[in-house]
Structure 1
């Protein structure tokens, strides 16, 4: 059973806006497909340092499938939210969330083993989110997620399976 529900009722507006980003990173950390699916629109786009994945299915295949089985954690800080005044309270409301991210990745099952080599990274995120009234009851979801990798340290073989 997952520790992380796909919805949290009655979130204040600013928390609801950033929640799809939290759901997304927690889905990687918890290997939680329902949480992943709840975070993204079907036609979402992920731009990982110029490697563009279009559609939730492509994001799952190109990003989530390789990372979610790992022993991994993502930490977000410096979270900022921009919701233009003209969009507040409208059915077409969109917002931008920016954040700094620290991610630690270990091979599956090796996160607590001494002397294992991780891949650690620092990145900057810019995420466009919108409310999903068509099929999501007004829940906020990711439309476009841009990740700019700033630095890495460790073993890239963690990500490639080598």
Structure 2
């Protein structure tokens, strides 16, 4: 299933939220091109899960976040999205809740296998880079609120 990295006719608020969706869907589908399209293409891109993981730059994200989580069977569901943007601005922020189910590769359809369910609050800063009119994530903070299940699935 090929997911496009750009969609036509999005409103500014939809385009801002789409940066978050491209990241999450890219992670769930283990699609580096889609995940990468969601982030600023500079070393300033950062992902932070306070107390657990902090990475800066896409190379570090790929090594410490995408390669590990992308290989799992995951499904992230996003809700309660709030976008804060001023008319004509090229920066914005959004918050959302995320619930994510995680299974080891090949175990997602096995009802006898334990998974890991997590709940989090996302705080995301986005920027519209000059020239292409596409919103991208500059900073993503993922405050983990709860865990239920087998923690070893995401720890190695």
Q: If the length of structure 1 is used for normalisation, what is the TM-score? A: 0.90
Q: How big is each residue's C-alpha offset from its partner over 1:31-80, in whole Å with a ceiling of 9 and x where there is no partner?
A: 10100110001231111124220111111111111001111000000000
Match of 1:108 in 2: 105
Q: Write the distance in 2 (CA, Å) between the matches of 1:121 and 1:114.
A: 18
2:13 counterpart of 1:11: no
Question: What aligned pairs does 1:78-93 form with structure 2 within 5 A after superposition?
Answer: 78-84=80-86, 88-90=87-89, 93=90
Q: Write the distance in 2 (CA, Å) between the matches of 1:40 and 1:34.
A: 10
The SS at the match of 1:40 is coil
Q: Write the distance in 2 (CA, Å) between the matches of 1:56 and 1:103.
A: 22
Task: For structure 2, list consecutive stretches of 5 or more residues without a partner in the other structure.
Answer: none
Q: Write the distance in 1 (CA, Å) between the matches of 2:7 and 2:74.
A: 23
Q: Write the distance in 2 (CA, Å) between the matches of 1:160 and 1:96.
A: 29
Deviates more, 1:8-17 or 1:100-109: 8-17
Q: If the length of structure 2 is used for normalisation, what is the TM-score? A: 0.93
2:123 counterpart of 1:122: no
Task: Decide which of 60, 70, 84 is 1:68's aligned counterpart.
Answer: 70
Segments of 4+ in structure 1 off by > 2 A? none
Q: Write the distance in 1 (CA, Å) between the matches of 2:50 and 2:76.
A: 17
Question: What aligned pairs does 1:2-41 form with structure 2 within 5 A after superposition?
Answer: 2=2, 4-41=3-40
The SS at the match of 2:35 is helix
Task: Measure how far apart 1:29 and its partner are.
Answer: 0.6
Aligned length: 153
Task: Decide which of 126, 133, 144 is 1:138's aligned counterpart.
Answer: 133
2:98 counterpart of 1:96: no
The SS at the match of 2:45 is strand
Task: For structure 1, list consecutive stretches of 5 or more residues without a partner in the other structure.
Answer: none
**CA RMSD of superposed structures (Å):** 1.2
The SS at the match of 1:53 is strand
